[in-house]
Amino acid sequence: MCGGEEYQENCVSPTVKHGGGSIMVWGCMSAAGTGELQFIEGNMDSITYCTFLKQNMMPSFQKLGRTAVFQHDNDPKHTAKMTIALLKKVQVK
């Protein structure tokens, strides 16, 4: 480590910039193991999110057991009526 000299050329690693963009990754884990890991392309709305949960969360919960805890934030697609109804239907709290 370069104490106090972090901006000297021998202390700086060059980086390569790209054209921007982002990647979204969804995954899950518990004491019982790991579930699905999915890479998501593009934007996601509540309809896409619900479809995604049906295809990925449910198989993961079946694998990990019903003691798994599902967590998400207050993103609008997470709090949409459609999403809340789906989670209630499949008894996920």
Over 28-81, what HEC string results? EEECCEEEEEEEECCCCCHHHHHHHHHHHHHHHHHHHCCCCCCCCCCCHHHHCH
Nearest to 28 by CA among 38, 13, 40: 38
Q: Find the mean pLDDT for residues 38-66.
A: 88
* Per-residue pLDDT, 83: 96
Q: State the DSSP H helix or E strand holding residue 87, giving kind and residue range, or none if neither.
A: helix 81-89
- State residue 74's pLDDT score: 93
Put simply, whether the predicted model's pTM sits higher than 0.75 gets the answer no
**pLDDT confidence of 24, banded at 50, 70, 90?**
confident
Domain ranges in the chain? 43-93
The answer to which of 28-42, 43-57, 72-86 has the lowest mean pLDDT is 28-42
- Over residues 33-61, the mean pLDDT reads 89
Residues ≥6 apart with Cβ < 8 Å to 26 = 36, 37, 38, 40, 52, 56
